[in-house]
Structure 1
């Protein structure tokens, strides 16, 4: 029973660390994120962090960061397209909504 409890606590702590790392990544996407910098934020060794991150997310750290950056770029692109449509509508006699 004692070893199971320790294993359970370690798993929970690693899961919490990975969740904190994901939040850090979301908040710092525009920065140069590295394995070392992300591992340092959650106080894990880079090699341990890399394995735990992949196990928790089903993808490597770089795959996760790339996925989030692509999603953010698509959102920005959609927003810019919407703004361009609004402006072109204003020039064509439509109403401008700002």
Structure 2
């Protein structure tokens, strides 16, 4: 397995949506399914959120990442998945907080 640099804005959307699919497009729930599939094929996934036009909401982050973090265990999850942004240095901290806490 290898490492994947995933450009969130180009590969998924530049406007992250709500928590659940039933509430709208590009939801955290939808992205979690994509990420789950990518984790089967790649050892490490660096998600680059630099190109988004709106921010990642807490509900999107917790739905997209927290269930996987709970399933895999924090240490293993964070060893394999990261979310970064050259435009928002606080995104990594926000990602880690909401990945640990299903809100």
Q: TM-score, normalised by structure 1?
A: 0.31
**Structure ranking higher in strand proportion:** 2
Q: Taking CA–CA contacts closer than 8 Å with sequence separation of 6 or more, which of the two structures ends up with the larger relative contact order? A: 2
